[in-house]
Amino acid sequence: MEEACGVFGCISRSINVADTIAVGLTGLQHRGQESAGIVMSSGTDDSYVEHKGMGLVEHVFKDNLLKLQGHIGLGHTRYSTVGVSSIINCQPFVVQSSLGKIAVAHNGELVEAKKLRKEVLDMGTGLTTNSDSEVITQILCHPPKVLNDGHEWLDRIKEFMSRSLISYSLVIMHDNKLYAARDPFGNRPLCIGKIKQRNVLKGEGDEKKEEVIGWVVSSETCPFKSVGAELERFVKPGEIVEISLTGYKILHTAQRPENKRPAFCIFEYVYFSRPDSFLEGQLVHFVRERCGETLAVEHPVVGIDDEKDDWVVSTVPESATPAAIGYAKKLKVQYAEVLCKNRYVGRSFIQPTLNLRQRTVSMKYGVLEDHVKNKKIVLVDDSIVRGTTITPIVQLLRKSGALEVHIRVASPPIKYPCYMGINIPTTNELIANKCSADELAKHIGADSVKYISLKGLEDSVRPEKRQDYDGGYCTACLSNVYPVEIEDLV
Ligand code: SF4
């Protein structure tokens, strides 16, 4: 499973905004590694300047940051789910509208993309890419049918949101303002941060005063420390927020259809977001630990209580590590690393054949033999998609002397496609559609395989102490219950 994108915007007259955006995007690199782009402006159409390229943020902007000048800008790092992986689909998109230039960065995937695409073309607007983000940009260029608020940009964004319910977290730049908008289901995260400076006022008692010198908007909070920002607030489902040099304003909250709950992607907790990010006010690392604890309660390994010294609980590095720690803590069994990840081997899923994929996996992981030999291993993974990664890992552990290998999975079986921005293999390729957990254990050579239950996962991710919590999660790839009717749309 691969994430769809990361977005990052910044406005300030006191810091180098292009540098800040590049650092922000680097912090969001885990959300997309195919391409990156930054668009900057000084608030006028003729000041727009951009650079985009294929590859990692560091590579794309190595020699190009100096030409990106301005006090306002936004950036994007992409993994393609709609539209091919090519420079033409790199974001942010920039177009000239009747109100001046706009730049748009999008995280998510429009469920209604096909329908909206046709509507845009039927209105006589040409499209140059097959990206749904270009469709959003073009819809925003059309004057709204009704002017409600005397704020035409707000009306344009509202109108787009009324036509498309899911899935988007957007950053839009126009003139001297950034707009942050999150779909009414809140499917992808989005948050606002502020950059403060401490001034020492000379004179009476050398008083120290904190001053806000910039604002950022980001898919996740994890880059905030690197850019000197602190979390101001999460953008709530349906909100349109205007951010300027003087601060931010909530302009509007778009409503979901009646009786519909929010549908925040539960896999942001399981896998996509960085463990040091906060989502819904809670640190992702701790949520993953809670999932591991729940997994331990639901599926302890038979005999683990009797001979604790013979057992090791471990992780498939790295996103499963907090869940493995939680599992070990709950059962009071030692946690130790058994696999060592070679970071320089490419992602296994892009290899064209099964044989090559499996070989890549065995190149990707080394074994810490002293933690494995003559031990019974409980290996915690965050998810099993095709089953091609876990099979060679079990073989590696067996070859290295493991007496038993039990797999515990911190997400329920993935059985259904995602239409909201996550690239999931076809239904036929998903291993959970081919065999039960027990059959899978046999197939991959493990002593047992157990998945956390859907209820267990939902209970583990739900914030515990939030009074204002209005949560609800998308679990469609696990439950086949989609936030909106899919049939006529895709
Ligand atoms: S279908 Fe799965 S991956 Fe897609 S948004 Fe829903 S929970 Fe997330």
Instruction: Give residue 360's pLDDT.
Output: 67
Domain boundaries, the chain: 5-260, 282-458
Q: Is the CB of 22 under 6 A from ligand 1?
A: no
Q: Establish whether residue 422 lines the binding site of ligand 1, counting it when its CB lies within 6 angstroms of any ligand atom.
A: yes
Of all protein residues, the one whose alpha carbon is nearest to atom 4 of ligand 1 is 418
**pLDDT at residue number 144:** 85
Q: How far is the CA of 482 from the centre of ligand 1 (A)?
A: 9
Q: Say if ligand 1 is within 6 A of residue 475 CB.
A: yes
Mutate to test the pocket of ligand 1, among 2, 82, 265 (most ligand atoms within 8 A of CB): 265
Q: Which residue stretches of the chain have pLDDT < 70? A: 1-3, 80-85, 200-206, 346-361, 465-471, 488-490
Q: What is the 3-state secondary structure (H, E, C) of the chain?
A: CECCEEEEEEECCCCCHHHHHHHHHHHCHHHCCCEEEEEEECCCHHHCEEEEEECCHHHHCCCCCCCCCCCEEEEEEECCCCCCCCHHHCCCEEEEECCEEEEEEEECCCCCHHHHHHHHHHCCCCCCCCCHHHHHHHHHHCCCCCCCCCCHHHHHHHHHHHHCCCCCEEEEEECCEEEEEECCCCCCCCEEEEEEEEEEECCHHHEEEEEEEEEEEECCCCCCCCCCEEEEEECCCCEEEEEECCEEEEEEECCCCCCCCCCEECHHHHHHCCCCCEECCEEHHHHHHHHHHHHHHHCCCCCCCCCHHHEEEEECCCCCHHHHHHHHHHHCCCECCCEEECCCCCCHHHCCCHHHHHHHHHHHEEECHHHCCCCEEEEEECCCCCCCCHHHHHHHHHHCCCCEEEEEECCCCCCCCCCCCCECCCCCCCHHHCCCHHHHHHHHCCCEEEECCHHHHHHHHCCCCCCCCCCCEECHHHHCCCCCCCCCCC
**Span 98-139, pLDDT tens digits:** 999 999 999 999 999 999 999 999 999 999 988 899 999 999
265 is in an annotated binding site: yes
Is 141 annotated as a binding-site member?
no
Domain at 282-458: CATH code: 3.40.50.2020
Pocket of ligand 1 contains residue 166 by CB under 6 Å: no
Minimum-distance ligand 1 atom for the alpha carbon of 476: 1
Consult the annotation and say whether 319 binds a ligand: yes
Architecture of domain 5-260: 4-Layer Sandwich (3.60)
**Is there a binding annotation on residue 175?**
no
CA of 420 to the centre of ligand 1 (A): 7
Residue 435 annotated as catalytic: no
Beta carbon of 484 within 6 Å of any ligand 1 atom: no
State the pLDDT at residue 359.
65
